């Protein structure tokens, strides 16, 4: 999570419904993500077009067929599709019921141009773990204040995509307790203002994905979960001192009171107001 001494308004998430289309799009404050796009289409068909960004697509209901580089492909619900930039493609529903999809448009932070050829050859990836991780990433991107979680999840999504495109198998990584401790110290020092994953990686001289893996392996908890636990712990103390939940949310680094309430209820079992009331 990036440092946020002041709260910024939520990005616009326009929803434009009609008989055939429901669309929501926004740009989160997460490095590498150009746009998040959620849509439900029934009869609409995309003409041939290109994007400057990588298109990471999952379909939740229905299916899509599309042409990429003059070859036909499809995206059933258990598939992750990765369409490379600058390569023409189209898209249309397979059934009369249409489809519901979630899309991330990614810049070159995680996927370089050298992978475009492999993506043209293998755009549809049947990988249940990758599919689940992409879904979890979308969930984090929907929740304001969860930028550190979104960054962490995006790291592993990007890593797995690169492995697919390069034909690499998963390899066990050695533990790195020293690196894990250095990240923990950074999180301990910056509980309220938070720290972005890329900034933390730069400070400790490690790749962001390796940093998250080292921390999770050493402590059995992801960095964003550790930071949230520290914030909730501080919130408990301030609530017992008589401060209001809205004041406590700001004082402990949460995006707003609802953000505090969601995590407080998850970790303590009751919302902040009930906890303070005893």
Query: pLDDT tens digit string along 198-209?
Result: 999 999 999 999
pLDDT at 53 over 70: yes
**pLDDT band at 13; cut points 50, 70, 90:** low
- 140-164 residue pLDDT tens: 999 999 999 999 999 999 999 999 9
Burial code of 240-264, b = ≥16 C-beta within 10 A, e = fewer?
eeebebeebbeebbbbebebbbbbb
Q: Which two tokens stand for residue 9?
A: 């308004």
The per-residue pLDDT of the chain, averaged, comes to 89
**pLDDT band at 6; cut points 50, 70, 90:** very low
Mean of pLDDT values over 101-130: 95
Q: What is the pLDDT of residue 262?
A: 96
Sheet with strand 21-26: strands edge to edge: 21-26, 33-41, 99-106, 54-62, 80-83, 124-125
Q: What is the pLDDT of residue 1?
A: 38
Q: Which two tokens stand for residue 252?
A: 């402990």
Q: Which two tokens stand for residue 109?
A: 């932070």
Inter-residue contact 157 to 135 (CB < 8 Å): no
- 167-177 residue pLDDT tens: 876 666 677 99
CA 214 to CA 243: how far, in whole Å?
37
3-class DSSP state of 44? coil
Q: What is the pLDDT of residue 172?
A: 61
Inter-residue contact 133 to 157 (CB < 8 Å): yes
pLDDT at 10 over 50: no
Q: What is the pLDDT of residue 94?
A: 87
| Best CA proximity match to 76, nearest among 53, 56, 88, 93 | 93
Q: What is the pLDDT of residue 278?
A: 58
What share of the chain in percent tops pLDDT 70? 90
CA 223 to CA 148: how far, in whole Å?
8
How far CA 108 is from CA of 5, 116, 244, in Å, comes to 29, 11, 43
Mean of pLDDT values over 73-88: 88
Counting DSSP H helices and E strands in the chain, the numbers are 10, 10
Q: What is the pLDDT of residue 33?
A: 97
Q: What is the pLDDT of residue 2?
A: 39
């Amino acid at each position: 999570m990036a440092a946020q001494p002041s709260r910024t308004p939520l990005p616009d998430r326009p929803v434009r419904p009609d008989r055939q289309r429901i669309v929501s799009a926004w740009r989160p404050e997460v490095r590498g993500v150009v746009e998040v796009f959620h849509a439900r289409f029934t009869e609409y068909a995309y003409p041939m077009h290109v994007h400057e960004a990588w298109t990471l697509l999952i379909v939740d209901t229905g299916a899509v067929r599309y042409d990429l580089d003059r070859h036909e492909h499809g995206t059933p619900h258990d598939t992750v599709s990765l369409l490379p930039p600058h390569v023409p493609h189209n898209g249309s529903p397979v059934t009369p019921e249409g489809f519901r999809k979630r899309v991330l448009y990614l810049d070159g932070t995680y996927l370089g141009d050298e992978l475009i050829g492999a993506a043209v050859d293998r755009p549809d990836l049947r990988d249940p773990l990758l599919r689940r991780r992409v879904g979890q990433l979308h969930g984090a991107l929907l929740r304001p204040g969860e930028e550190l979680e979104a960054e962490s999840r995006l790291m592993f999504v990007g890593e797995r995509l690169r492995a697919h495109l390069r034909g690499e198998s998963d390899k066990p990584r050695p533990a790195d307790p020293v690196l894990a401790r250095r990240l923990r110290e950074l999180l301990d020092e910056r509980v309220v203002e938070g720290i972005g994953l890329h900034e933390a990686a730069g400070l400790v001289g490690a790749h962001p994905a390796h940093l998250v893996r080292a921390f999770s392996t050493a402590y059995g908890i992801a960095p964003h979960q550790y930071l949230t636990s520290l914030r909730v712990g501080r919130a408990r103390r301030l609530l017992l001192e008589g401060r209001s939940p809205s004041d406590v949310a700001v004082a402990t680094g949460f995006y707003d009171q609802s953000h505090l309430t969601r995590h407080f209820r998850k970790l303590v079992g009751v919302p902040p107001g009930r906890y303070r009331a005893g």
